[in-house]
Amino acid sequence: MDSKRDMKDQETERVSKVTAVLLKSRTGEFDLESILFLKLRGIYDLGCIGDCINLERLDLSGNKITNLAPLSSLRLLQILNVSANRISNLDISSCDSLQSLNVAGNLISSIDNIHCLQSLRKLENIRLKDNTYNYTNPVCKNSSYRNILLEMFPNIRVLDGERVVGRGSDLYKLCKDIDETIKAGFYRNGQLPELPGCKPWVDNDFWEIKRSNNAILDEAYKQFNDVLHECRLLNNRATHVISQTERSLSLKNQPKQYSV
């Protein structure tokens, strides 16, 4: 019984810690430096993941990771998703190529934990909160954290999934203002008023095909159908003639046979 438990504990440890064997088996790559994209689940220790020095995209969401220090050697990393973990310190300032960072659903408690990212000049997309999955961080409780982040990162384009500068930012703001206006108009005294029933835009028989009473059009339809019927007859007759011609030609081309 104890031996089985020990084997189970060893198997859990192998899965929970990133090793060279794990990386090669998950990616099918023989050399760790050949790994460009990686997605891992069920781990808490990043182990030797720093040996994948050419890694460009890394998805570690939904794990139990607390320490990002092993990622410091990933100088080519562009996209990092570590949402839904137990991270409180973003010690990834050496990832010079990082453009997109998702840390929603972690334990980042203050703006001071984010200052280390200011050296990442290419960082354009930061997510600390994700309403879709109800992921957040304690720092998001600060009502001014968005404005502080926008001042800290002048090159940022997308914050928490919303475009803040560049093409599309005006659309995000407009949609948000419209939503707030609609909600303010709908809710009165905390209740949603009853709306009158909607009427159809067109009558029920609007889409029905109506025949014309015009005799000229009816005659045109009849002539067109007659011509179409005649074309079909000619096509069938031509197909029959062609098949007979091909059959006669094939008989002429057959070699003559003599019986002895």
Distance CA 76, CA 98 (A): 7
**Bridge partners of residue 126, in order along the sequence:** 101, 159
Task: Give this prediction's pTM.
Answer: 0.62
For the chain, 260 residues long, the average pLDDT of each consecutive 10-residue run is: 46 69 92 95 94 97 95 96 96 95 96 93 95 94 90 90 67 62 60 64 67 62 78 85 80 55
89 closest CA partner among 71, 124, 114, 126:
114
Going by the DSSP 8-state scheme, the letter that residue 120 receives in this structure is -
